[in-house]
Structure 1
Amino acid sequence: MSVYKKLQEARCEMQKMTLSKSGKNTFAGYSYFELGDFLPAINDLFLEKGLCGVVSFTATLATLRVVDVEDGSAVEFTSPMGSAALKGCHEVQNVGAVETYQRRYLYVTALEIVEHDALEPVTGAPQQAQTKEKPNQQYDWTALIADIAKAKTMDILKAAFDAGLAAAKAANNKAMAGTFTKAKDKRKSELSAQSEAA
């Protein structure tokens, strides 16, 4: 049995479970899954299916490698690394916060765990599009960076970059604006190389 079949079985069993969201975003008014809400269930499912999840980080990429412990086949899920600037925290605490978020997003992706649209509480549902933007708005920086990193065309890349830059400006976050610019330049270079090779 391949890693893909086992992972799909784990996904189907996972979606039948009733999981509680313990994370609360009181500012935007929604609940979300924290890592501890679903990781114990995933570990039990992986043990039962003969799978093992291994998370690793580089300066630019977070990776979840799901391995079939019986035949060694594996599938990887990746996400561009983000950054955190939590007030009153040491640098290592900011690194830990980013890694925790990345682990959560990687497992949510791998197991197809369905959450709310993270942008909707921030940008407002379509019928609320005209409401005045609130100060100190919270944004899903990792998702915005991922949109830039996975853009398939230059037009999509421009739209993703513009969305990220607008969010960074609205939040007055110059560091994220720089991160978006670096991610855009990297993806632009990749797309250009693909175009030349074609």
Structure 2
Amino acid sequence: MAEEKQLNIYQKLQKCRYELSQKNIKKSGLNKFSNYKYYELEDILPPIIDVCYKNGLTTVFDYTNENAFLYVFDSENPDIKIPFHTPVEVATLKGCSNIQNIGGTQTFCQRYLYKMAFEIAESDTIDGGEVDLEKEQQKQDEKQGKQYINKAAVEIIKALILQTNADEKAFLEWVNADKVEHIRNKDLNLVMKKLREKQAEQQKAKENLIPDEIDF
């Protein structure tokens, strides 16, 4: 009986890649904003561990402040390894502690490096169609437009109302706000235009005034 030829680390890795490509790995991650699914670490790690165990490979993940590393070792020859790495930057998520931010970044890097090492492909296009970027931008603009103007805009508008002797009550009724602080971003351009026009009209009227008597 012929002795089975021992595979080198690259052949073992390629065999693992092939076996993974034949598995129907389900995506459990969902990006609700853009409406597409993606692989979570827990989706890909069990099948990777399975094929590595069967083919004599071991993976080790390492992490520093600047880089994340995934080493694929030949279990039968531990001195032989294939390294994969990626630069990292700790994400700062609202409402999370530093350790949670670090943990989330490490998980993301692990997922990315395992996909890289075992060539687990994900389409760059969204499942079920591409994202309508124009529509998403429109949603963001509408959300921003409903928010109140900032403090700097409030101070400018108040100063213009005072300078032009505008009827503040009538002005606020016109813009549908109970006070200047509650003017919305979507109305800011129109408000500023009207106040600037009134300011310009008053300035022009002053320049056209003819004095009754002129002293020479």
Judge same fold: TM > 0.5, yes or no.
yes
Does residue 135 of the first structure (1) align with residue 140 of the second (2)?
yes
Does residue 111 of the first structure (1) align with residue 139 of the second (2)?
no
Does residue 10 of the first structure (1) align with residue 19 of the second (2)?
no
Mapping for residues 129-168 of structure 1, pairs under 5 Å: 133=137, 135=140
User: 2:121 is paired with a residue of what secondary structure?
Assistant: coil
Mapping for residues 17-166 of structure 1, pairs under 5 Å: 17-72=23-78, 73-117=80-124, 120-121=125-126, 125=130, 133=137, 135=140
Q: Which amino acid counterpart does residue 84 of structure 1 have in structure 2?
A: A
Spell out, residue by residue over 1:18-44, the C-alpha distance to the aligned partner (whole angstroms, 9 max, x if none): 011000001000000000001011111
Shift of 1:79: 0.6
Spell out, residue by residue over 1:29-73, the C-alpha distance to the aligned partner (whole angstroms, 9 max, x if none): 000000000101111111111100000011110000000011231
Moved more, 71-80 or 87-96: 71-80
Quick one: structure 1 residues 61 and 38, their matched pair in 2 at CA, closer, same or farther if it must change by over 3 Å? same
Shift of 1:130: 5.7
Spell out, residue by residue over 1:92-112, the C-alpha distance to the aligned partner (whole angstroms, 9 max, x if none): 000000000000000001111
Gaps of 5+ in 2: 1-6, 142-216
Matched with 2:214 is: none
Identity percentage over the alignment? 39
Counterpart Cα distance in 2 of 1:103 and 1:135: 32
Higher relative contact order (CA 8 A, sep 6+): 1
The TM-score, its normalising length taken from structure 2, stands at 0.56
Matched with 2:182 is: none
Spell out, residue by residue over 1:152-182, the C-alpha distance to the aligned partner (whole angstroms, 9 max, x if none): xxxxxxxxxxxxxxxxxxxxxxxxxxxxxxx
Instruction: Tell me which stretches of 4 or more aligned residues in structure 1 moved more than 6 Å.
Output: none
Q: Which amino acid counterpart does residue 22 of structure 1 have in structure 2?
A: S
Aligned length: 131
Moved more, 98-107 or 85-94: 85-94
Q: Which amino acid counterpart does residue 29 of structure 2 have in structure 1?
A: G
Query: How big is the alpha-carbon RMSD for the aligned residues of Structure 1 and Structure 2?
Result: 2.1
Matched with 1:158 is: none
The TM-score, its normalising length taken from structure 1, stands at 0.61
Larger CA Rg, structure 1 vs 2: 2
Quick one: structure 1 residues 129 and 26, their matched pair in 2 at CA, closer, same or farther if it must change by over 3 Å? closer
